[in-house]
Amino acid sequence: MRSGPSRPVIIAVDGRSGAGKTTVALELAALLRRHRTVSLFHLEDIYPGWDGLAEGVERYVSTVLAPLAQGRTAHWTAWDWASGDWGPADDAGSRTTAAADVVLVEGVGAAHAAARALVDVVVWVEAPAPARRRRALERDGETYAPFWDRWAAQEDELFAGGDVAAAADIVVDGSRGVAGAPERVLSALAGLPALEPLLAPELARRRGLEFAAVRVAAYPPAAALFAALYGGSTDAVWLDSSTADQTGAGADPAGRARFSIMADASGSFGRTATHADGTTTVADGEVTARIRGHFFRWLDTVWGRKAVRAPDHYPGDFTLGWLGWLGYELKGETGGAAARDAAAAAGATPPGPNTPPGPTPPPTAALLFAGRAVVVDHQERCLFLLTLAEANHPASGQEAADWARGARDAVAALAETDDAPVAPLPAPVFVLRDGESRYKAMIAASRTEIREGNSYEVCLTTQLEAHTPGRLDAWDVYRALRHRSPAPFAAFLRMGATAVCSTSPERFLRIDAAGLMRAEPIKGTRRRDADPVADAALKADLAASLKDRAENVMIVDLLRNDLSHNAVPGTVRVPRLCEIESYATVHQLVSTIEAQLAPGSSRAEALAAAFPAGSMTGAPKISTMAILDSLEAGPRGIYSGGIGYFSLNAALDLSVTIRTLVLQDTDDGGTHLSLGVGGAITADSDDDAEWQEIQAKAYGVLSTLGADFPG
């Protein structure tokens, strides 16, 4: 935002005729006037007749916008539509627009390219041409009908010079009218970092929230519960502690699998946020806001301050908030390269001819905001229904009560229900981004970098990809995966046309409401064997492996450093080092690092300091990420990032996105699948052992699908 001692914040509300921008501007002005002075200027007052759009916009920029942008009152003359001439030139015909706290300028061309440098925020209102024409005629009468095409042609010419919609900060979909849009536009404005000081009263109101957690003495089958409540949701998340669901919470000595969380983006609080190409896009009903800049900066504005407090009877850390994924490419904000093109820039070999064509990559990050959710307490074998309401807002409280009542009814209907069996899945044929010879060549290159002192450990990865000609049901895939490979940080996410099926055993980072930070990296893996004797031998081999222990200790040291940046001095500790945890398909070597967040520290910055997980990069992190960019043949995408939640009590809990299948619907009616795998390379890594390790890590997912590791 441009600054000045007395200049107004200028908000341009633009769009083609009949879209609904006048209604949006008028009602938005009324909302803004609750806490500040507002001036409103309509461009139609300065258009010189039915053929004067371009001239009117030019006069608007020079006589209205330019002085306002300097903090001066604008003096202008109105067009008299009845006489078809300008108003009188004397004082009676002169108009003014004061430089108030906020100036709303509304009309076709309000954010035209010539005006854009002088405005702070652009709101674009759009609707299909037939709807716009109908509304314009209903508003102005049939006398406007002869001029519709004439005016529309001028709009086409005006906007040919630049796409205002693409440059807009906020877009309003007026296809079904704009009756509910102004409140959502105000909320979107409050989410723009540049407007935080101006909209402090609205932000304070947003934090006036009432959180409730109602205990329900029921423990229905988890998959059936998710299907009943969220099976039809376009955007939904299930953070699924499936080890507890499969074997009981008592089998979770580390205490990581007590709770599962189910939520979607429905209700008045619900919205979604995606980040790609340097812009975070927040969709709230018919209003979409674009916040340009770093993702972690945006996250800091919407999360990290304690907005609610959990009641004493509720034992969970999650008190509603944001849930979803953070992709590996966010490393571009934390010291790494913005790596969608990093591999190409560094000369890495592109994917081979056998790699199936994929759809548009999913967003770098995708989150939904849940204003209501179900938490399953596996230890107490009960549920908690979580709801959010605006304080002193009866309609909001009623909405929460209605949802809770419906959720109770759905739970009651599941009392005698079992999880439905999963039908046999078609076996996709996977190809490997890097075949055996190339992967081993990357191992050799990694060892060279280590010998030259550029890294101590390189966490090398590759991806398996497949395409099915028919649509593969991601829900069926996930249910099969959680049955075959239960994990404490399993997750199912459905975000539009992308689904994520994760059976991750690894916690990336947890920060609880009191500021205790905990990371639990995994380094060292052995595939399990059905023969108990052979299985015990594999476990013993892992326990005795100096190489695997060295890998783990190096990452522990890296994470101690990551957490120390935002920790109280002297609080970093390692309560658990290189302990073996056994899962359905693998044995793994796990450590725990803890530290206390320093008072006043930004939680989003603490997360950014540790992102991406050191167990997925190697050490030292920055130089090793550059090595990886030069070796790996393409971006990792969702794989190697994090999945979890950002709670309204300022807690977060993220897994490392491993053992994770990503499914995307494709335009040909099929499904694209991708599965990332990798391993840590050290100076004494053995090529064949590393090649076997990535097969072991892929086994749980591939065997569930009936697929083979590509030969």
Catalytic residues: 506, 523
Cβ(484)–Cβ(703) below 8 Å: yes
Residues in the chain: 711
Nearest to 164 by CA among 229, 98, 113: 113
DSSP designation for 424: P
DSSP letters, 553-617, are: HHHHHHHHHHHHTTB-TT--EEEEEEEEEE-SSEEEEEEEEEEEBPTT--HHHHHHHHPSPGGGT
Cβ(522)–Cβ(590) below 8 Å: yes
Residue with tokens 């004082």: 91
Q: Cα-Cα-Cα-Cα dihedral of 446, 448, 454, 455, to 10°?
A: 40
Cβ(262)–Cβ(230) below 8 Å: yes
CA 55 to chain centre: 43
Rounded-to-integer distance, Cα 602 and Cα 609, Å: 11
Buried b (16+ CB within 10 A) or exposed e, 201-236: ebbebbeebebbbbbbeebbebbbbbbbbbeebebb
Burial class (CB in 10 A: 0-12, 13-18, 19+), 58: middle
Cβ(662)–Cβ(674) below 8 Å: yes
- Helix 148-159 vs helix 129-140: crossing angle, to nearest 10: 130
Rounded-to-integer distance, Cα 644 and Cα 698, Å: 22
Rounded-to-integer distance, Cα 488 and Cα 241, Å: 5
List the beta bridge partners of residue 671. 468, 665
Rounded-to-integer distance, Cα 605 and Cα 562, Å: 11
Nearest to 504 by CA among 484, 490, 486: 490
- Residue 242's contacts (CB-CB under 8 Å, 6 or more residues apart) are 222, 257, 260, 482, 486, 487, 488, 490, 503
Rounded-to-integer distance, Cα 681 and Cα 304, Å: 36
Report the 3 state secondary structure along 317-342. CCCCEEEEEECHHHHHHCCCCCCCCH
Three-state DSSP class for residue 163: coil
Tokens found for residue 332: 């571009």
CA angle centred on 108, ends 102 and 114, rounded to 5°:
75
